[in-house]
Chain A
């Protein structure tokens, strides 16, 4: 079992719709959770992070965390064609002493004009 799992997609949504991206993780001790956006041929760009159960909103983006279910999601409201990219979920467990993140393989989002 992969440590961080994401559906590879592509997830296709029409412009203006809500895109919902999901991620599950296996390490129950994970403490910090991140969403990165990666355009084709570019480097990952941090768009959201969340540490506590519940929702965290930033503009059109909402991150949702449910530690009991080991599940983190990203909602993108009013999706735009410029949101078309691969979205990477990443988690960290600080108690392991390792500061590195564990990444999922990403979900490709396509927003249709």
Chain B
């Protein structure tokens, strides 16, 4: 099992460009999450999907959209990147009836 995988690992964008971060899990988990991590800020929730077909906003959703493509995959889209979106992005998942979350390796995004 690969667990939670994310692509790409690194990305540099210019202001105004768009991109999609991909996340997939092979643990048959129901819930998936996108967080961003900035120095001194800890992990902040952007969006989550409690189950296939549902998505909800987290703490910092502005500037992002998500798609729960199927049970395995949960993507995060930046429509018009801004320098404030420079961060490390982590995807996580958790199984039914559980609270423990398991994280992917992260995507380091720089917006210039």
Contact = CB atoms under 8 A, between A and B. Distances in A.
A9 B96 CA distance: 35
Interface string A1-23: 00010001000000000000000
Secondary structure call for the B interface = strand
Contact of B42 (A42, A49, A104): A104
A32 B99 contact: yes
A92 B50 CA distance: 14
Interface in B68-112: 90, 94, 99-106
Given A99-B50, A99-B94, A46 B40 contact: no
Contacts of B100: 34, 46, 49
A44 B103 contact: yes
A88 interface: yes
A110 B90 CA distance: 24
Nearest to B48: A100
Contacts of B90: 43-44
A44 B43 contact: yes
B42 A103 contact: yes
A88 B41 CA distance: 11
Contacts of B99: 32, 34, 49, 92, 94, 99, 101
16 contacts: A8-B40, A34-B101, A43-B103, A43-B104, A46-B102, A49-B100, A90-B43, A92-B99, A99-B31, A99-B99, A100-B45, A102-B45, A103-B44, A104-B42, A105-B40, A105-B41
A101 B42 contact: no
B101 A101 contact: yes
Interface string B32-61: 010100001111110010100000101000
B61 to A, nearest CB: 12
